[in-house]
Structure 1
């Protein structure tokens, strides 16, 4: 982060707002000409500050009305079992994120489903059968107050 100057931070902030911004507009936004802007952008990509570009889709428009936080616990803490669990989780698209955490759970996942019936079936047939899982607790989101947004450029 110390390698970023004011212009780099402005570039990153602008791209977090609109990842499809054309280079000419991006250059204008940060006060550069197009060539130096493109060079800086390429450096930020190469240095790993920008991991990838993607579209943010609407869960509701896609018919995914249920959003849940799922707390997964293991009875046995075995590295091989945890590795298998993590590999299998990677392959399940409706698990949006999965974090290995400290606290009362071993993992916290964000999961989407069409409705409660779909969610129940998914939990029974897929999540409960994952390697190592002995206990699951769900917290259903009633409404999103703040969505994942731009990272702070401290």
Structure 2
């Protein structure tokens, strides 16, 4: 057992489900070396305990016309709880923001923003991001191409 209370079978189940959560419990059971019922119970436990937080379909953003991806550094006026909380609340409302991280260093937040094109990003910047309270500085970087995109966490088991 690991410190988190998961054993090797749990990690195998999680690894399989990260690759293809559409598999049935029977198919997952076969891949991890269990029978169907114990595997199903483990999957339910992993959901109940919050290890599996959702099961989604991963979509191809390019086929959906979301061709521009930006990494955006944001510095807020003051690095206090109120400013950070108000910025965080505002940023959660923007569907273009795929990720938002608090970072330590020169900037306060790092965003990953996806839009159909650069014109749409410019509109997002001027009509939404630049109007968020407490924003002092924004630096945007265009992602020219993707070398690697992963959704699966590295699980060592």
TM-score normalised per structure 1: 0.96
Secondary structure, aligned partner of 1:88: helix
Counterpart of 1:125 in structure 2 is: 127
Task: Mark the runs of 5 or more structure 2 residues left unpaired by the alignment.
Answer: none
Counterpart of 1:68 in structure 2 is: 70
TM-score normalised per structure 2: 0.94
Secondary structure, aligned partner of 1:128: helix
- Quick check: 1:82–1:131 contact (8 Å CA) kept in 2? no
Q: Aligned equivalents of 2:86 and 2:22: distance in 1?
A: 37
Q: Aligned equivalents of 2:100 and 2:150: distance in 1?
A: 15
Using the TM superposition, give the Cα deviation of residue 77 of structure 1 relative to its aligned residue in structure 2, in angstroms: 2.0
Counterpart of 1:42 in structure 2 is: 44
- Give runs of ≥4 in structure 1 deviating > 6 Å: none
Aligned-pair RMSD on alpha carbons? 1.1
Counterpart of 1:94 in structure 2 is: 96
Counterpart of 2:35 in structure 1 is: 33
Using the TM superposition, give the Cα deviation of residue 88 of structure 1 relative to its aligned residue in structure 2, in angstroms: 1.1
- Quick check: 1:113–1:119 contact (8 Å CA) kept in 2? yes
Task: Mark the runs of 5 or more structure 1 residues left unpaired by the alignment.
Answer: none
1:139 has 2:141 as partner: yes
Alignment coverage as a number of residue pairs: 154
Segment of structure 1 superposing worse, 11-20 or 78-87: 78-87
1:112 has 2:114 as partner: yes
2:82 to 69, 80, 83: 80
Counterpart of 2:53 in structure 1 is: 51
Segment of structure 1 superposing worse, 36-45 or 72-81: 72-81
Counterpart of 2:21 in structure 1 is: 19
String of CA shifts for 1:112-142, please: whole Å, max 9, x gaps. Answer: 1111111111111110111110100011101
